[in-house]
Structure 1
Amino acid sequence: MQANSRAIVSNQEGIHKDLESIVLKHKNSQFLKPIAEHSRQAFEQICQFVQFSDVDKTVSKPIIFDACCGVGESSRQLAQKFPDHCVIGVDKSADRLNRQGREDYPNLMLLRADLNDLYRLLVDSQMPISQHKIYYPNPWPKSQHIKRRWHGAPVFKQIVQLCPNIELRSNWLIYLQEFQAGLTLYSIKSQLSTIENPLPAITPFEAKYHASGQTLYCLQTL
């Protein structure tokens, strides 16, 4: 496979100068945006799928939460690799989710939802999540868009609270360095490394970036 994906161009040369103040502000405040009804409905679908008991906080199987799953390729691979887990792939775009079909495995659910709402609902419910994956999120590389990145958003607090086992991949090193710095402000340790040979690629983006000769990075909590 050959590709010519352009490398990310940014007016930032390193971690954003306001990152710490932004993360700490959100850490010490409450995200008060009203949760949409369709988000509550999506949450109820998840509860039914994993057989979540709100009484004793149990689920039928360990849960892998695949955020920003796009066309769902990563979720399908995870469902195949972990047949003894429930895999929940979430994206805000119904078009992306429908491009390659829907649930191919009995332990897989692909769902359209607003993650800004869903993260809060999951954390508030204390649903146990075993693994949390964020593969190749939109980098929002312009410096003025720092608050659109997950670590610059108000919901970063819930992202951190959702699950201690977080894996994040990107072809933009600064994104992962910032996310890692945000985790440090929550006293969470993580390891940043390069992905040498991503075969099979976990997402179409990973395949494309690798074929274009770009360096791929992985951040994993410890």
Structure 2
Amino acid sequence: MFANSRAVTTNQEGVHPALEATVRRHLAHPWRAPLGDHDREAFARAQAWVGTSRRPLILDSGCGTGRSSMLLARRHPEALVLGLDQSAHRLARAERRFDPPDNLLLVRTDCAGFWRLAEAAGWRPWRHYLLYPNPWPKSAHLKRRWHGHPVFPHLLALGGTLVLRTNWELYAREMAEALAFAGLSASVSELTTDGESLTDFESKYRHSGHRLWALTANAEKTV
């Protein structure tokens, strides 16, 4: 990736004014949208791979080209790592670039559907990474951000430690407020430039001079 990424621009002046109403509505009314066969097949593959293992489980949702999933698997050999992404093209790049360790599986799936199936199956990941999700910065697109999406309660119900990274501070701040509406606390801090970048986007943003933000929350309380 070339280091020429533009900073996120938005027509919002601050936290979205409809954030609280949107989040509380989703918390009160579970999402009933039909699940696709492709998501069921993807989850069945992941479930068969995890099997009856008692090893900690890490989800890397929206893993893109798999760099973050590979690094997490190497950093945590005691855990199983599932990298999830809806793009076959990006996942194919991952398989060409890396020799996946035995504790890593990359799965093509829609994260929203996979999370619902994982929740229904009683999965409780140890850690759940959301690294540089699409910010959907236009005000009209609030419901496309994970904290404004109807799947948000299902994301929280998975529990574990939630780790979000973004180059748009407002995204992290909105996520923290959405978590607070669900009775969960989160910390938001600026990432330093020390250490290896977890994703290709993180590397690109750093080399483009962007400020990067990290949110961490314990989502053990279900909603």
Tell me if TM exceeds 0.5.
yes
The answer to whether structure 1 residue 149 and structure 2 residue 141 are counterparts is no
Q: In structure 2, how many angstroms separate the alpha carbons of the residues matched to 1:187 and 1:71?
A: 34
Pairwise mapping of residues 37-48 of structure 1 onto structure 2 (< 5 A)?
Answer: 37-48=37-48
Between the two proteins, the alignment pairs up a number of residues equal to 216
Asked if 1:178 corresponds to 2:174, the answer is yes
Cα distance in 2 between the residues matched to 1:61 and 1:128: 11
List aligned pairs for 1:63-78, cutoff 5 A: 63-78=57-72
TM-aligned CA deviation for residue 198 of structure 1: 4.5
Match of 2:191 in 1: 195
Distance 1:60 1:95 in 2: 32
Q: Structure 2 matches for 1:1-222, cutoff 5 A?
A: 3-52=3-52, 59-101=53-95, 104-222=100-218
Distance between the aligned counterparts of 2:112 and 2:200, measured in 1? 24
Contact 2:30/2:153 (8 A) holds in 1? no
Offset, 1:116: 1.5
User: Which range moved further: 80-89 or 40-49?
Assistant: 40-49
Could you list the runs of 5+ residues in structure 2 that have no partner in the other structure? Answer: 219-223
Poorly superposed stretches of 4+, deviation over 4 Å = none
How far is the alpha carbon of 1:2 from its aligned partner?
A: 7.0
Name the Cα RMSD after superposition: 1.4
1:144–1:198 CA distance, 2 compared to 1 (3 A): farther
Secondary structure at the counterpart of residue 118 of structure 2: helix
Residue 47 of structure 1: how far off its partner (Å): 1.1
Q: Read off the aligned partner of 1:91 and give its amino acid letter.
A: D
Distance in 1 (alpha carbons) for counterparts of 2:194 and 2:30: 38
Amino-acid identity (%): 39
Give the AA of the match of 2:73: A
- Once the two structures are TM-superposed, the CA of residue 128 in structure 1 deviates from its matched residue by 2.3
CA deviations 1:101-132 (Å, max 9, x no partner) are: 16610000000001121111111111121100
Per-residue CA deviations over 1:147-176 (Å, capped at 9, x if unaligned) read 000011000001111123100000000101
Q: Separation in 1 of the partners of 2:55 and 2:132?
A: 26
Alpha-carbon distance in 2 for matches of 1:2, 1:211: 8
Which 10-residue stretch deviates more, 1-10 or 136-145? 1-10
Q: CA deviation at 1:37?
A: 1.1
After TM superposition, the score normalised by the length of structure 1 is 0.94
Residues 24 and 181 in structure 2, CA contact (< 8 A), matched pair in contact too: yes
TM-score (ref. length: structure 2): 0.93
Measure how far apart 1:38 and its partner are.
1.3
